[in-house]
Amino acid sequence: MSGTTTALAIVGLVVFGTIGFALFGVGRIKMDPAQYIVGGRSFGTIFLWVLLAGEIYTTFTFLGIAGLSYSQGAPAFYAIAYGASAYVIGYFLAPAIWRVAKDHDLLTGPDFFETRYGSRVLGVGVALLMFVMVIPYVALQLSGLQILLHIAGYGAYDTTAAVCIAFIVLAFFVFTAGLRGTAWASVVKDIFVLGAVTFAGIAIPVHFFGSPSAMLDRLLATHPQMLLLPASTAFHGTSWYVSTVLLSAIGFYMGPHSWSAVYSARSGDTLRRNAMLLPLYQTFLALMIIAGLAAALIHPGLKGTAVDQSFLLVVAQYYPPWVLGLIAGAGALAALVPASALLLAGASVITKNVAGDAFGFATSDTSRTLLTRVLVIVVALLALGVWLAAQKTVVELLLLYYNGVTQFAPGAAAAFLYRRATAAAVGAGIAVGLAVAIPLAAFNVSPWGINAGFLALIANVLVLLAVSLRSPTSRTMP
Amino acid sequence: MLDGVRNTAGVLRVLLAAIPIVALTLAVPFVNRVEPRFFGLPFLLSWILVWSLLTPGFLWMIGRMERRW
């Protein structure tokens, strides 16, 4: 077997081995909607750990954080900080949301808005927004997967077909195994990814420079500004850093698939224990940052989106194919496992909130599971189509995801903190937040160096407060 | 739960929770320096890492105050 196929074969083995292992782990369980969509609300500390950690280590982490530290240095540190801040918020917010979900048998994020604010219109609106956000986010994972396969094949193959096959297999895996399957796959994914991250952040600097510390000495000598944040209002300066960490931390639990992960917990204390322990896991991201900085010295000169390939190119160039295969395999899992959770979340909001609640279609347990399963395949094909048709626009569409999910946070928090908040106020807040965030992000405007999404979040909160104050009645608190 | 905020112990817990968030956000412009370095890491990165590692300690204390563990 030649070198170019060895690495790709190992990636295939890792991906399909993980899917096989997860199917075995799930076994034969009767799938009612609660089992299929939120794991029967039975996940203990370990399962929940790997599911929530799934959101930390996506291809964005694997390629994007290393790429950001390769091209800009210190701004990449934000990735460590926002995770820890997010878990502090999650310690309070996630168990409160879980309690509501448990008491009212909720299945999806939009269910929470419908139940707490007594408004079907709000529930359906949130469901449609979440669905629209899921598609580009899945497509992004496919772009990441393609980069990984391209490098693992040493650039010798067109990997589009391989991406399509892997993704369709994944969709049928989700069809069969539901959220429980994603959790089992996450167990394997986390082991591989932690191994790969440790290799990238420790073995690479040791190999080339003697130690990570010696690598940093060299970097300080050649690029003295790279390990500092630029001045406050500059591009990726300190204002950007503070606003982005806050924005990302507030939005952390708001992704469509994060709601399912929260609902899947066995108890509120399971979520609290997770929130307490997960910041430790986040510190592993420092290794990806080190890997990106090392790549900047070893393999300089990458520009534009090519920076995302930084440390993988180093591995491809200087290490044997089997090492590249394992690292790219870990990266492929980091793309596919979160994508599986997203497919399920996208399908379940349409089944439950749009087909079921809005049109009274497929409301029995059996038909609801079946429809969700069919929609998993439909969402997968749709994401694949969007990715094949519009690879460039995907990046633009993603702005909708990153700036969009955070806009659900004020409504989620107000459900517990602000008695007067109404459905109309939450809906208006989300609408204004999106209307501010998307144009600013699309034209790449960041007033005073502040992240546009953060300004949109402030607008959202102000509108929520203003509209609530003008409405006469108040809700009962949970 | 968030409604715990309405008494003194609740306020104390929220303040405890705010410490690591402030350290990781608002404090960062003031620690944007390379020296002194710890284990070779620039001061800014060390600061962010140390506060991420301390965050579980703060949440553990809050959990103890709520008698959850």
Position A30 confidence tier, pLDDT thresholds 50, 70, 90? confident
Give chain B's domain count: 1
Q: Which two tokens stand for residue A274?
A: 């997770």
Judge: B24–A283 Cβ closer than 8 Å, yes or no.
no
| pTM summary value | 0.89
B41 forms beta bridges with: B38
pLDDT digits (tens, 9 = 90+) for A247-277: 989 988 898 889 988 999 999 999 999 999 8
The alpha carbons of chain A give a radius of gyration, in whole angstroms, of 22
Q: Which of A54-58, A267-271, A439-443 has the highest mean pLDDT?
A: A267-271
> Rounded CA gap, A418 and A434, in Å?
22
Q: Which residues of A touch B31 (CB under 8 A)?
A: none
Is the CB of A158 inside 8 Å of chain B's CB atoms?
A: no
Query: Do A191 and A393 form a contact (C-beta atoms < 8 A)?
Result: no
Q: DSSP string spanning A62-77? A: IIIIHHHHHHTSGGGG
Is ipTM strictly over 0.85? Answer: yes
pLDDT digits (tens, 9 = 90+) for B19-64: 999 999 999 999 898 888 888 899 999 999 999 999 999 999 999 9
> Rounded CA gap, A295 and A84, in Å?
26
Where b means 16+ CB within 10 Å and e means fewer, A50-65 reads bbbbbbbbbbbbbbbb
- Topology of the domain comprising A3-392: Sodium/glucose cotransporter (1.20.1730)
Judge: B2–A96 Cβ closer than 8 Å, yes or no.
yes
Where b means 16+ CB within 10 Å and e means fewer, B18-42 reads eebbebbbeebeeebebeebeebbb
pLDDT at B5 over 60: no
For chain B, which residues lie within 8 Å of any Cβ of chain A, measuring from their own Cβ?
A: 1-3, 5, 17, 20-21, 24-26, 28-29, 32-34, 37, 39-42, 44-45, 48-49, 51-53, 55-56, 58-60, 62-63, 68-69
pLDDT digits (tens, 9 = 90+) for A297-324: 998 888 877 888 888 888 988 888 899 9
Domain hosting B15: range is 2-65
Q: Which residues of A touch B39 (CB under 8 A)?
A: 213
Q: Which residues of A touch B40 (CB under 8 A)?
A: 211-214, 216-217
State the best of A85, A229, A284 to mutate against chain B, taking most chain B CBs within 10 Å: A85
Decide: helix, strand or coil at residue A43: strand
Hey, how many other C-beta atoms are within 10 angstroms of the C-beta on A267? 17
pLDDT at A397 over 80: no
Q: Where are the domains of chain A?
A: 3-392
